Amino acid sequence: MKNLFTELRVALIATIVLALLVCGIYPAMVWVVAQGLFPTEAKGSLIMRGGKITGSDLIGQGFIDSKYFHPRPSAAGSGYDATSSGGTNLGPTSKRLVDTIKQRVFAYRSENGLAPDILVPADAVTASASGLDPHISLKNAYLQAPRVAKARELSEKTVLREVAIATESRDLGILGEARVNVLKLNIALDGILR
Amino acid sequence: MAARTHSLFDRKIILQATADSFKKLNPRSLLKNPVIFVTEVGAVITAIGLVFPSGSETFAFVLQISLWLWFTVLFANFAEAMAEGRGKAQANALRKTRTQTMANLSKPDGSIEKVHAETLKKGDLVLVSAGELIPADGEIIQGVATVDESAITGESAPVIREAGGDRSAVTGGTRVLSDLIQVRVTANPGESFLDRMIGLVEGARRQKTPNEIALTILLSAMTIIFLVVIMTLKSFGRYSGIDFSVTVLVALLVCLIPTTIGGLLSAIGIAGIDRMVQKNVLAMSGRAVEAAGDVDVLLLDKTGTITLGDRQATEFIPAPGVRPDELANAAQLASLADETPEGRSIVVLAKKYGLRGRSISELPNATFIAFSAQTRMSGVDLEGRQIRKGATDAIQAFTGNDILPEIHVTIGDISLKGGTPLLVAEGNRVLGAIYLKDIVKGGLKDRFERFRAIGIKTVMITGDNQLTASAIAEEAGVDDFIAEAKPEDKLALIRREQAAGHLVAMTGDGTNDAPALAQADVGVAMNTGTQAAKEAGNMVDLDSNPTKLIEVVEIGKQMLITRGALTTFSIANDVAKYFAIIPAMLVTVFPVISPLNIMGLGSPASAILSAVIFNALIIVALIPLALRGVRFRPLGAAMILKRNLLIYGLGGLMAPFPGIKLIDLIVNALHLV
Amino acid sequence: MDLFGLIQLILFITILVALTKPVGLYLVRVLDAEGRTFLDPVLRPVERLFYRLFGINPGKEQDWKGYTVSMLCFSLVGLLFTYAILRLQHLLPLNPQGFKSVNADLAFNTAASFTTNTNWQNYGGESTLSYFSQMVGLTLHNFASAAVGIGVAAALVRGIAGNSAKTIGNFWADLVRINLYLLVPISFVFALFLVSQGMIQNFKGYEKTALVEPAPAETPMKDAAGEEVRDEKGNTVMETKEVKTQIIPQGPVASQAAIKTLGTNGGGFFNANAAHPYENPTPLSNFLQILSIFLIPSGLTYYLGRMVKKQQHGWAVWSAMAILFLVTLLVCWWAESAGNPRLHALGVDSTSGNMEGKEVRFGIFNSALFATVTTAASCGAVNAMHDSFTPLGGLMLLFNIQLGEVVFGGVGSGLYGMLIFVILAVFLTGLMVGRTPEYLGKKIDSYDVKVSVLALLISIFSILGFSAWAIVSKWGLAGLNNSGPHGLSEMLYAYSSATGNNGSAFAGLTGNTAWYNITLGLAMLLGRFLVIVPVMALAGNLSGKRMVPSSAGSFPAWGPIFTLVLVGTVLIIGALTFLPALALGPIVEYFLMMKSGLLY
């Protein structure tokens, strides 16, 4: 019994000492060094427009107007709510999933005026995992480009050029997928004088 | 004994076993076998389902499932009963020989009383005269006799048994052919070796071996796992809108729990002991048989095990200036009074040098000096000549001179070749040497080679000197040897090997072997040996053939392999059973799942029934294998593993598919469900 | 399944193999109380200080019971520590959002979850927990529970390697050394790298940003007190409001994310875990996070080989893990690439695979890879929503967990779990070589078999028992997000994940109710400590045994045959146990998806 008390005392000390190390010193050191080395990233890769924060490079935002490229459907809160990230968590045989996607496919087709033989890119009608996915696929962007160009009365070429600029290729040429950052693209489009 | 081995399908044994399998249905006796016990509970539950039907299954279906579950239990019982029956048949044949024996009990007051052999107790003294059966295991305390032991060894040549020394033990049921002996009984009724062995095969005295216990734990755990699987499946089914019936769940459970190995496990153990008996080795426990499989060091006495008991003179090597026939003549004369096999072999060899055989009676004037262990010399004083032959140092002492260098070379050569040199001298002159050779038994080298392949080290023990020992060791192909060994060296060696983690087997017969026999993991006492040796060992070899150790090890391994193989087979079987039963259970509610019915079984009911039937029949099909044992091949562990995995692992995975399909075809053809 | 995926897979395996030996050799030094590392000049004094503070003698080795008692005491204190912090959150500092005290059952669940290295999250990180709760209450366990796992594995390996030894190491020394020399330094460097990729590390309040395009959105109506308004049926009342701003949570993410994967913890800073762009900004950060999950478990196999002086054995165990991993990965990747035919029927491009619940920057392959790795390794971090995986893809994830988290597995727990299977595999097939089964020169006796199957039984009982209970009870069904077979998958996944100390979820399941919090919490504690105790008993029993010299007749615990035997044992035990339940879940769902028009 006495032994057990000794053990518990050591355990308590160990917990506190360890907490000081890994919950105090360690994150503080990471914080200090990170703020020094990578201040922008450490602070959230925020985008400033006119002295105001208008978003983050990494966090997607919702867009509805046809002059904007539309991001992926989001299940975060009421859509791109960064305080409740997450996906739909609907399974492949979910009626809700299939019904929702049916509507989205219809909407996507009609707003972009797709020919019947053109298939809708999956990322355009499926909700992302985080609900904050800042990216869409290249295919998706290309299909939206004519609509955006039309709404902005820009040439498709100009829009596609902006798409190309907003395109992030595979990391190191290998990892991940090529993708288009919707927020950056839309901000860039807003900045283009007609 | 007439038949050492019984055919697998001896009618009498089968009939008895069939009756026994019903007796074994008693749940209390089944409790020691959890897998089969659960099967019996399942059978009872389905039987109750017949009386109080629930669920949508037809009566015929539930009836057949229930019947086959009962068959499963019966088949498992049958396997055990078969093994017991065969063992008992062996034992009974031995026991029969002495049931009617009468004994001449000598009382303390010196009188003799006729009593039944069964009433003899340990310590009783009995007299046995020519033509009588020895009434019980015992030790000769007075007299010498020739004994016919063919009843237990099958060997027809009579053997000599005498008081004192290492050949004093006699076995009940053997017959004295000549002379009169007084025997002290060494076993109480029911405690003789035979009784112990009969007890072992009958199950009453059988204790599970360590591996059997571990395996039973594993099998019980699997049974518990599947119980949980089945019970929770009911609940998952309810969520999915399927009401799994009790019959179907029990059927699935019994198919999944390892009934095959569960049903055959004890049969394998009994069969192992039984196979020992067939080799004329009585094992005192299943544990000993199992330990035999684990042995990795064999301690072998040189004399009698590796070499023929006696050394033979094979050559005379004269000293410089001595004619060969002169040496041969002297050697023969010196050996006439030597009755040892070595001495006789010298006389025989001398004849090849053109000398006729002589005998002591031809030379009345001669004074013969007989061979003795103290002088290690024999010889003759004849017409003023003093001729001697004997061990080198003894002869050197006799002549009083230094031995010529040439002789020294000869002696060295002989020793190097593993022989024993004897010198022949006349007066103070050494005439030459005799080459006594140890004759290594035929075929041993191959056997030791096989042992090396399976990782068993052979160590030869001999009293010979280093040189001699190494030459014989080489000729016999043993891995190691211990020369100039004293009896206590054996014990020390065993302890040393055990400390290094080895398991040691040895044979022995003398009283001074007893400590080593007791210390060894497998100690095989020779039946001809002393009572002390027999008590110390955990096996007795009725043939008293020390080479038997090799078979003992193989039988032990075979038993372990059989268990492992059937366990693997049993578990691998489950995969196919799943493919038979799961689709059948789901297909009514989820018809889309029908592609999983890869065997294309006729209907859900027939699929389940076929799996249950297969599960029952496979036990019967494997009984011969369980009793005979998986064939043992002298290969390295890696090779054996590969081979057995292929046969029993992969085989176990594949075999049920065609098996269940075939049964399903029959079930459907007969419209059983 | 495309070429780029294949290249990334080969790259992944290559780097993993290359790192296994150096990590293993480093582990040998870390796990030896006398071992020297290049960090000694800096950390040796710290280590000594720790021992002085603890009041222990690191050189005094413990027997298995002593080690276990220390480990249990430490875990108990840690459990209570975190429980207290969560309950007292409102009184503690670093709570810029002013979150309230966490309620009792959720606090129990969360404390159990982190103490057991599970990191199941029934709470929403950004909406429930203060920075202090995350940093101290949770991060402590990210290090502590990982160290416990590695310590137990090391103790077992010492037991296997020992020859008639009575002791198996000192728990406190292991705890200190694993943290000081292994977890903290690697996490530090790794965290900085992650920041360079865009992961945040700050102590700011949440950022309020002006949306580029303000838009109307349906949001839950809130009353004056900020509580959601509910109608008489209990449903949240929604209102349409013009949303002009986006609130972006901030915090010390990188320092937690680094140890999250390195220590196979998995508990995310954000609800979306490693799918959240702040918690996994780029494919590169993604790749390294995946790698870091397997890093220590893979290195531990080398440590095993080194310690038992049979490196081939270490590699055989590694290979068995790798084979199981590749099989599940390939099936999962294939299934996710093939996508959902129901959606294809609606005109969705079938070549882009199943993108529901996946991030564009990771795509199909990296989502499948992350998911397979995280379930194989008992990590539980996710970069895609497992609930939305295709039936067969999800089946692989579920199966990985149900195999016992032994495919590399959690740090330490993967190795000791796999060694349990090694004992069983050796016992099952070892008889077939005609000897009492022996493992690396130690005879397996009934005690070893008993404790091994006990460890196995606990997990199976917990997974199947709790799932079967929940799936037919009201509280259980109420938590399901999906119905039909997928609902069963959600349930099985929840208790498998909790018992296996994985922590990932078919996250549709609403686990934050009293019943779930308590049952899941219990499953985690059972799956952790009732497995560790038999494992330690095994370590103690093995350590005391005499080593039998190996010969041609010994069972070879290395080489392709052994590897296949081990793979077969793991697969057969896993498959036989869970196949019936899985048949009613993902397997039936697959056939329904492919061959019927049924929806749920």
> d(Cα B645, Cα B658) in Å, to the nearest integer?
20
Phi, psi of B515 (to 5 degrees): -60, -40
Helix (H) or strand (E) holding C260: helix C253-262
| DSSP H helix total and E strand total for chain B | 24, 22
Facing C217 at nearest CB: one of A79, A102, A174: A79
Q: What is the CA radius of gyration of chain B?
A: 33
Give the mean model confidence (pLDDT) for residues C369-379.
95
Please write down the HEC assignment for all residues of A100-132. HHHHHHHHHHHHHCCCCCCCECHHHHCCCCCCC
pLDDT band per the 50, 70, 90 thresholds, residue C54: very high
Q: What is the dihedral of CA B279, B283, B288, B294, to 10 degrees?
A: 0
Contact of C491 with chain A, judged by CB distance below 8 Å, is answered with no
C439-496 pLDDT, tens digit per residue, is: 998 999 999 999 999 999 999 999 999 999 999 999 999 999 889 999 999 999 999 9
Chains in touch with B (3+ beta-carbon pairs under 8 Å) read: C
DSSP letter, residue C201: B
Write down the mean pLDDT value for chain C.
93
**B-C contacts at Cβ under 8 angstroms:** 215
- Minimum Cα–Cα distance from C67: chain A residue: A7
Mark yes or no for CB contact C434/B557 under 8 Å: yes
Our CA-based measurement puts residue C500 at a distance from the nearest CA of chain A, in whole angstroms, of: 21
C neighbour chains, 3+ CB pairs within 8 Å: A, B
Per-residue pLDDT reduced to its tens digit, B176-200: 887 888 888 887 776 666 676 666 6
* Residue of chain A whose alpha carbon sits nearest to that of C485: A93
User: Closest residue of C to A129, CA-based?
Assistant: C357
Residue C475 at interface with chain B, using a CB cutoff of 8 Å: no
Could you tell me if C542 lies within 8 Å of chain B, comparing CB atoms? no
Q: Which residues contact B96 (CB under 8 A, 6 or more apart)?
A: none
Q: Do C202 and A35 touch (CB under 8 A)?
A: yes
B557-584 as b/e, with b when 16 or more CB fall inside 10 Å? bbbbbbbbbbbbbbbbbbbbbbbbbbbb
> For residue B194, what pLDDT is reported?
66
Q: Is the four-CA dihedral B400, B406, B412, B413 of positive or negative sign?
A: negative
Q: Does C597 touch chain A (CB under 8 A)?
A: no
Instruction: Report pLDDT for B193.
Output: 65
Do A92 and C356 lie within an 8 Å CB cutoff?
Answer: yes
The residues facing A120 across adjacent strands are C348
Q: What's the 3-state SS for A147-188?
A: HHHHHHCCCHHHHHHHHHHHEECCECCCECCCEEEHHHHHHH
Please name which of B69, B88, B90 lies closest in space to residue B80, comparing C-alpha atoms.
B88
Half-sphere exposure of C113 (CA within 13 A, CB side): 35
C580 CB near a chain B CB, below 8 Å? yes
Work out the average pLDDT over B541-556: 82
Contacts of B100 (CB under 8 A, 6+ apart): none
* Contact yes or no for A129 and C384 at CB 8 A: yes
The answer to whether residue C144 neighbours chain B at the CB level (below 8 Å) is no
Instruction: Report chain A residues whose CB lies below 8 A from the CB of C339.
Output: 122
Element (H, E) at B362: none
Question: B568 — contact with chain C (CB < 8 Å)?
Answer: yes
A19-24 long-range contacts, CB within 8 A, separation 24+:
A19/C81, A19/C136, A19/C140, A21/C179, A21/C180, A21/C184, A22/C139, A22/C140, A22/C142, A22/C143, A22/C144, A22/C179, A22/C183, A22/C184, A22/C259, A23/C135, A23/C136, A23/C139, A23/C140, A24/C136
pLDDT classification of B202: cutoffs 50, 70, 90: low
Q: Distance of CA C312 to CAs C27, C242, C295, C298, Å?
A: 17, 65, 19, 14
Q: Give the per-residue pLDDT at B99.
A: 57
- B293 to chain C: nearest residue by CA? C435
**CB contact at 8 A, A131 and A85:** yes
Compute CA A73 distance to the chain's CA centroid, rounded to the nearest angstrom.
11
The DSSP output letter for B648 is: I
Domain ranges of chain A: 2-39, 47-190
Task: Check CB contact under 8 Å for C552 and B640.
Answer: no
Report the relative pairing of strands B297-301 and B504-508 from DSSP bridges.
parallel
Write the pLDDT tens digit of every residue in B4-23.
Answer: 455 666 788 888 899 999 99
pLDDT band at B645 (very low <50, low <70, confident <90, very high): very high
Count the neighbouring beta carbons within 10 Å of the beta carbon of residue B492: 14
Q: Least CB-CB distance to B564: which of C429, C578, C588? A: C429
**Closest approach of B664 to chain C, Cα-based (Å):** 22
At residue C246, the pLDDT reads 92
Give the DSSP letter string of B329-361.
HHHHHHHTT--SHHHHHHHHHHHTTTPPP--GG
Q: Is the pLDDT of residue C32 over 70?
A: yes
User: Quick check: C434 and B453 CB within 8 A?
Assistant: no
Query: Phi first, then psi: what are they for C34, rounded to 5°?
Result: -95, -5
Cβ contact, residue pair B240, C591, below 8 Å: no
Torsion angle (degrees, nearest 10) of CA C90, C94, C98, C100: -30
User: If you ran DSSP here, which 8-state letter would residue B30 be given?
Assistant: H
Tell the burial category of C103 from Cβ atoms under 10 Å away from its Cβ (0-12, 13-18, 19+): middle
Alpha carbons B583 and C462: distance in angstroms, whole number: 26
Q: Which residues contact B82 (CB under 8 A, 6 or more apart)?
A: B13, B14, B17, B267, B623, B627
Which residue would you say has higher pLDDT here, B36 or B354? B36
**Contact residues on chain C for A56, CB-CB shorter than 8 A:** 207, 209, 248, 277-278
B578 to C579: CB separation less than 8 angstroms, yes or no: yes
Q: In what order do the strands lie in the sheet with A167-168?
A: A135-136, A179-181, A167-168
C61, C149 Cβ separation under 8 angstroms: no
Q: Nearest 5°: CA angle at B397, between B395 and B403? A: 65
d(CA B411, CA B388): 17
Per DSSP, B670 falls in state T
State the nearest Cα–Cα gap between B425 and chain C, in angstroms: 51
Residue count of chain B: 673
- The answer to whether C278 and A46 are in contact (CB under 8 A) is no
pLDDT score recorded for residue B98: 52
Averaged pLDDT of chain B: 85
Q: Which of B33, B125, B120 is nearest to B79 (CA)?
A: B33
Question: Closest by alpha carbon to C203, among C270, C249, C142?
Answer: C249
Report the SS3 class of residue C494: helix
| Separation between Cα atoms, residue B296 and residue C443, nearest integer Å | 13
Enter the pTM of the model.
Answer: 0.89
Q: Which of B497, B496, B462 is nearest to B482 (CA)?
A: B462
Residue in C closest to B639 by C-alpha: C433
Given B166, B195, B301, B513, which residue is catalytic?
B301
Q: What residues are paired with A52 via a beta bridge? A: A49
Give one DSSP letter per residue of C3-71, joined into a string: HHHHHHHHHHHHHHHHHHHHHHHHHHHHTSTT---TTHHHHHHHHHHHHHHHT--TTS---HHHHHHHH
DSSP assignments along C75-142, one per residue: HHHHHHHHHHHHHTGGGSS--TT---PPPHHHHHHHHHHHHTT-----S-HHHH--HHIIIIIIHHHH
Nearest CB to C360; choose among A68, A88, A179: A179
C4 touches chain A (CB under 8 A): yes
Residues of C in contact with B574 (CB under 8 A): 572, 576
Average pLDDT over residues B274-300: 86
A92 and C600: CB-CB below 8 Å? no
**pLDDT for residue B207 is more than 80:** no
Task: Tally C-beta pairs within 8 A across A and C.
Answer: 408
Against chain A, the chains showing at least 3 CB pairs within 8 Å are C
Mean pLDDT in residue range B581-592:
92
- Residue A183: what pLDDT? 95
A122 with C339: Cβ contact below 8 A = yes
Is pLDDT at B673 greater than 90 in this prediction? no
User: Among residues C414, C396, C395, which one has the least CA distance to residue C406?
Assistant: C414
C260-302 pLDDT per residue, tens: 999 999 988 888 999 999 999 999 999 999 999 999 999 999 9
Contact call for residues C244 and A52 (beta carbons, < 8 A): no
Label residue C225 by pLDDT band (50, 70, 90).
low
For helices C446-471 and C514-543, what crossing angle results, to 10°? 170
**Tens-digit pLDDT profile for residues B427-459:** 888 889 998 887 887 778 888 888 888 888 889
What pLDDT, in 10s, does the model give residues B382-427?
Answer: 888 888 888 888 888 888 877 788 888 888 888 777 777 889 988 8
- In this prediction, residue B634 carries a pLDDT of 81
Q: CA of A51, closest CA in chain C: separation in Å?
A: 11
Residue in C with minimal Cα distance to A73: C356
Q: Are residues A18 and C196, on separate chains, in Cβ contact within 8 Å? A: no
Please tell me the predicted confidence (pLDDT) of residue B4.
46
Give the rounded distance of the alpha carbon of B31 from its chain centre: 29
Average pLDDT for C336-349: 95
Decide if B224 and C449 are in contact by the 8 Å CB cutoff: no
Higher pLDDT, B325 or C550: B325
Q: Which of C448, C449, C468 sits opposite B235 (nearest CB)?
A: C468
| Model pLDDT, residue B564 | 92
Q: Which of residues 272-331 of C touch B (CB under 8 A)?
A: none
> Is the predicted pLDDT of residue B205 greater than 60, yes or no?
no
d(CA C436, CA C430): 7
Please give the Cα distance from C534 to C543 (Å, whole number). 14
Q: Do C488 and B233 touch (CB under 8 A)?
A: no
Q: Find the closest chain B residue to C558 by CA distance.
A: B638
The dihedral over CA atoms of C388, C392, C398, C399, expressed in degrees to the nearest 10, equals -170
The pLDDT assigned to C262 comes to: 96
Are B500 and C555 within 8 A, CB to CB?
no
User: Which of C436, C454, C548 faces B501 most closely, judged by CB atoms?
Assistant: C548
Residues 325-384 of B with CB under 8 A from C: none
At A174, the amino acid letter reads I
pLDDT at C368: 97
Q: Does C592 touch chain B (CB under 8 A)?
A: yes
pLDDT at C295: 97
The backbone torsions φ and ψ at residue B156, rounded to the nearest 5 degrees and listed phi first, read: -80, -25
What is the pairing mode between strands B377-382 and B169-170? unpaired
Q: Give residue C30's pLDDT band: very low, low, confident or very high (50, 70, 90).
A: very high
Whether residue B137 lies in the annotated active site: no
Greatest mean pLDDT among B154-163, B505-514, C433-442 = C433-442
Q: Which residues does residue B655 pair with via DSSP β-bridges, in sequence order?
A: none
H or E element, residue B418: none
Give C570 to chain B, closest Cα distance, Å. Answer: 13
pLDDT in tens, chain A (194 residues): 568 899 999 999 999 999 999 999 999 999 999 999 999 999 999 998 888 899 999 999 999 999 999 999 999 988 899 988 899 999 999 999 999 999 999 999 999 999 989 999 999 999 999 999 999 999 999 999 999 999 999 999 999 999 999 999 999 999 999 999 999 999 999 987 54
B211, B574, B645 member nearest C561 (Cβ):
B645
Can you tell me the distance from the alpha carbon of C284 to that of C262, in angstroms, rounded to the nearest whole number? 16
pLDDT tens profile B567-577: 999 999 999 89
